[in-house]
Amino acid sequence: MTTYAATTETGMPRRKSFWDIILSERYFKWTLIVPLLITLAAFMLYPTFYSLYYVFMRFVPLKEASVFVGLDNLRFVLHHPHFLGDMANTFAVLVGCLIVELVLGMLIALLFSREFRGQNLIRGLCLLPLLMSPLIMSMVWGYLLQFDYGFMNQILSKVLQLPKVVWWGPTMAKVSVILLTSWQWTPFTVFVLVAGLRSLPKDAFEAARVDGAGAWYTFRRLTLPMLSPLIVIIVMLRSMWLMRLFDPLYGTTRGGAGTESVDYLLYRTAFSYFDIGQACTIAIIALFLTLIFSFILYRQLMHALGVIK
């Protein structure tokens, strides 16, 4: 092992320089990690403490100086006409997307579970939605679902002879958001589940087949339990991302028609009304909810990576 105990030419030990210390066996691992730690501290701790501070302050920049108001912000946010509704919206879209993505994703994954000719091309095409800019795609979906001349309504009215749907109206807007979000993310579920299905042990299924188990029974009793760790990871990751719903709303309803999410409310409160006190209060609540999720997710991820048993 290399040691960096520096000696002068005469053999007399000299004082260790800064470089000797940070490159020494003992400290090298910390040297490597310091830039990351500084980044995390700057970008996470600072906003957290900033938000915690302004929870108790009334602060509207350029308008008034910040004043200590105790728990007024919290009281106001909890009675805010939109806050609880926006929580419910976020939750509804989250659950809707999870259901669509999991069911549809599972069906498609089962279809693609065996190796087949041309699978690289199919995989390449199916992954495209995942890599598209959510903002651009939401604007395109806004166009596809437009009432008068949008593609969907044209098909509905001209081909299927059905009445047109007001996609971006109060009743359907959430469904439209779910539609475009799950369009973009179903491939994710498909890819993860296909990876899982292809790595399942073959002999268990062989045994089930020999015993005369039906397809549905095999799926419910064998496939599903074996895939459950992956499903948990999908649910956790997707929940985490769906809680941050913003781009699809900005590209379509701009928070109107009963689609506003918590993050969108935060955006409006902080950057349209510049009510920093209230924004920070909402932020702290959002942060707290996220933290719960991240704790659960952490164990799953670490387990999957083999860090903890």
Partner 1 sequence: MKIRVTTVLFWIATVVIVLGFIFPILWIFLTAFKARADILSTEFSKLLIFSPTLDNFRYVFAWTLFPKELLNTFIITVGSTILVMLFSLPAAYSFARWNTGEGHLLFITISTRMFPGIVAAIPFFFAFKAAGLSDTHIGVILLQYYFNISFATFLMYGFFREISIELEQAAMVDGYGRMDILRRIIFPLIAPGAAIVAVFCLVFTWNEFLFSLLFTHHVARTLSVGLSLFWGSLEIQWGPMCAAGAMAVVPTLVAAWFMQRYIVRGLTFGAVKG
Region binding partner 1 by CB under 8 A among candidate stretches 38-46, 64-72, 73-81, 201-209: 38-46
The letter for the amino acid at 120 is N
For partner 1, the binding residues in 63-102 under the rule CB under 8 A are none
- The reply on whether position 215 binds partner 1 by CB under 8 A is no
Q: Residue 257's closest CA among 163, 169, 152, 151?
A: 169
Region binding partner 1 by CB under 8 A among candidate stretches 89-97, 203-211, 215-223, 278-286: 278-286
- Rounded CA-CA distance 220/36 in Å is 44
Least CB distance to partner 1 at residue 96 (A):
18
- The reply on whether position 200 binds partner 1 by CB under 8 A is no
Token pair for 7: 């000696």
- Rounded CA-CA distance 195/130 in Å is 17
Length of the chain: 309
**DSSP characters over 176-200:** HHHHHHHHHHHHHHHHHHHHHHHTS
- The reply on whether position 240 binds partner 1 by CB under 8 A is yes
Least CB distance to partner 1 at residue 48 (A):
8
- Rounded CA-CA distance 130/185 in Å is 6
Token pair for 91: 């939750």
- The reply on whether position 244 binds partner 1 by CB under 8 A is yes
For partner 1, the binding residues in 125-144 under the rule CB under 8 A are 125-137, 139-144
Of 39, 204, 214, 215, which one interacts with partner 1 (CB under 8 A)? 39
Nearer to partner 1, 48 or 171 (CB): 48
Region binding partner 1 by CB under 8 A among candidate stretches 8-16, 63-71, 169-177, 291-299: 291-299
